[in-house]
Structure 1
Amino acid sequence: MRYCLRDQTRRKQTMRYKLLLLDIDGTLRPGSCEQIPKENAAAVRAVQKAGVKIAIATGRGRTGVGKGLLRDLKPDYWVCAGGAQLVDAKGNDLALHRLTAEEMYALVDFFEDYELPLRFTFHDANYAYIDFAEFDRREKAKNLYNNIVDGEDQDHHLVEMPFGCFGFLPQEQAAQFQEKYGYLGLQFLYSYPGSDGCDIMQKGVNKGAGLCELAGLAGLTPEECVAIGDGDNDTAMLAAAGMGIAMANGSANAKAAADRTGPDAEPHGVADLCRELWPEAF
C-alpha cells in the first residue's frame, strides 16, 4: 500500500508539468547523429500521448528543421530562432519578433568590415548574406543542414524583414560591435564558451522569454513547464521553467542555470529522462 501511495504521489508531481520544451542540437539530437535517435522520438511521443504538450525550442528557424531530423515526432509547438518565432503544430506563427532595418544594417556593415560569415532567418530559408561557402562547410561538418541558401545578393529583406540572425565571430569582436552599436541592445548568445558561433538576438528575446510567451498562449504558467537543454543559449529557458534540466554534456552555464543535471545526450539521454519524469507514460 505504501508503494502505491508513493507511486501516486510521484505521478501527481510529474503530471503537474504540462509542457515539455526540448532543445535539438546536443540535447534531443546527440552530436554524432544526423537524426534524433529513434529511442528519443519514441519516448517523447509516449509522453505526448500521456497528455503532455511538446515544444521544440531551438536556435534554428522553423525552416531550418529539415524533414527527417525529428523522425516521426510531431511537436505541438515550436520556439524557434532562439525565441523570436513561436509556431503552432500547423506551422502558423503565434508570435514573431523581427529585426529592425537599423539593427540588420548595422550587423551587415560590421560583419562585412571584418569579412565575417553572417546569415539571417526568414520564413522560406536561412540566407547567408556574407560567406555562404563557410556556412556550407561548417554545416556539412556537423551534420546540421539548416536550410541555408546563398543570399549574398543581400536583397531578401526587401521581401520580409528577418526574425533571426547567426554569425561566426570571436567573442572579442562581439565586444567591438557593442562599443560601436551598443545602443541597439542586440545580444550575442554563444552556445558554448570558446565557440565563435552565436545567435544574435534583440534585447529581451531568448528561449526563456519564448517559454514564458508560449506558456501564456497555451494557458499555462512557466512553473508547469519542463525545459531540457545543453548550451549557454539555453540558460534563460532552463532558469524560466518549473523544472530546468541540463544534459551532462552541457556547458557549465547551462548546468548552473538548471535545477538539475540529466544524463548525457549520447546515446539517448532524453528518452531516459522521459521515462524517469513520466513513468506512467510507459
Structure 2
Amino acid sequence: MKYKLLLLDIDGTLRPGSCERVPKENAEAVCAVQKAGVKIAIATGRGRIGVGKGLLRSIRPDYWVCAGGAQLVDYKGADLALHRLTTEEMYALVDFFEDYDLPLRFTYHDANYAYLGYEEFARREREKNLALNIVDGEDQDKHLEEMPFGAFGFLSQEMADRFQEKYGYLGLNFLFSYPGSDGCDILQQGIDKGAGLRELAKLAGIDPADCVAVGDGDNDVAMLKAAGLGIAMGSGSAAAKAAADRIGPDAEPHGIAELCRALWPEAF
C-alpha cells in the first residue's frame, strides 16, 4: 500500500530525549519522504505555539495535529479546527489545581499560560530543553480574551482520580505521557490524537487507512490505533507498543530516519 500521510509525534519520537532539536538525519529523511509525495503532519501534545523555531530543523509540515488533537492547523498556520475548553471545564480545573497547589497551564494561540506554578513549568522547560513558550499567567485573565484549547498539569494518578470523583460529570480525560510520569494532557471528552487524525484525514480527503502514525507514549495510543499503520518506537511505552501494528527502532539516535527509509525506499 502506498501511504499518503505520515503523522509524527515530536518528543521521544522525532526528537530523542537527549537532543535539543530534531536530529539532522531525521529531518532530512522526513523531507525526502515529503518530496516523494507523502503529506507530513506533526501530531503533538504541544500547542502550535509551543513548537519553537528551529526545533524541527528543515521540516515544514503540511499539517499539524496539536494540543493532543484539539488544534488542527495547516501549513500556512491557519486553524483548520479548534476544540476549546468550556468555561465550566476550565474553572473546575483551576479550582481543583489551586486547592491542591498543583501546576496548571492552558494553551492559547499566542503562548502557553501557566495559571498556576509558572516557576515549576519554567524549571522543567529549561531542564528538558523544551522551549514551550510558557509565560506567567498568574493573573488568570487570558481566557477573558479567548478560551483555551488545551490544558496540561503536573499531578499524580491519585490526584487525577480525585478530580474525577468531584468533576467526573465533565468527562475530561487525564492522559499521562508515560507510566509513572506526572505530566498530563487534559483533554475534552472525545478529543485525542486519534480523533485528530480522523478529523484531519477527512479535511484532507484521505482515508485513515492510508495514514502512518508514529509515536512513543501513552498519549499516542489512540493515534496508533486510528492509523492504517501504527508504529511505536522501540523505546516507547508498553501501551504504545501494544496499540501499534509494528514496533520500530529506538528513537535514539535517529530512528525516524530508519523508518522512513524502510517504508519509502524509493524516496532515497
TM norm structure 2: 1.00
Please give the alpha-carbon distance, in whole angstroms, between the structure 1 residues aligned to 2:240 and 2:129.
Answer: 23
Q: What is residue 210 of structure 2 aligned with on the other side?
A: 224
Name the aligned partner's letter for residue 54 of structure 1: I
1:89-108 alpha-carbon deviations (Å, 9 max, x no partner): 00000000000000000000
Aligned to 1:39: 25
- Residues 89-238 of structure 1: matches in 2 within 5 Å? 89-238=75-224
Distance 1:45 1:86 in 2: 21
Give the letter for the 2:120 counterpart: E
Question: For residue 38 of structure 2, what is the aligned residue in structure 1?
Answer: 52
- Structure having the higher Rg: 1
CA displacement at 1:207 relative to structure 2:
0.1
2:266 alignment counterpart: 280
Deviations, residues 180-203 of structure 1 (Å, cap 9, x unaligned): 000000000000111111000000
SS at 1:26 equivalent: coil
Distance in 2 between residues matched to 1:266 and 1:192, nearest whole Å: 17
Instruction: Provide the rounded CA distance (Å) in 2 between the counterparts of 1:209 and 1:244.
Output: 14
What's the counterpart of residue 7 of structure 1? none
Find runs of 4+ consecutive structure 1 residues off by over 4 angstroms.
none
Percent identity between the two aligned chains = 80
After TM superposition, the score normalised by the length of structure 1 is 0.95
Q: Deviations over 1:211-267 (max 9, x none)?
A: 000000000111000000000000000000000000011000000000010000000
| 1:245 aligned residue | 231
RMSD: 0.4
- Long gaps (5+) in structure 1: 1-12
The number of aligned residues is: 268
> CA separation in 2, counterparts of 1:47 and 1:192?
29
Q: Is there any run of 5+ residues in structure 2 with no aligned partner, and where?
A: none
Q: CA deviation at 1:72?
A: 1.5
SS in 1 for 2:115: strand
Instruction: String of CA shifts for 1:149-191, please: whole Å, max 9, x gaps.
Output: 0000000000100000000001000000000000000000000
Distance in 2 separating the partners of 1:108 and 1:95: 25
Greater shift in the superposed pair: 137-146 or 181-190: 137-146
Provide the secondary structure at the position in 2 that maps to 1:120.
Answer: strand
Q: 2:7 aligns with which of 11, 21, 34?
A: 21
Determine helix, strand or coil for the equivalent of 1:244.
strand
Query: Over residues 122-148 of structure 1, what are the superposed CA-to-partner deviations in whole Å (9 max), with x where a residue is unaligned?
Result: 000000000100000011111111000
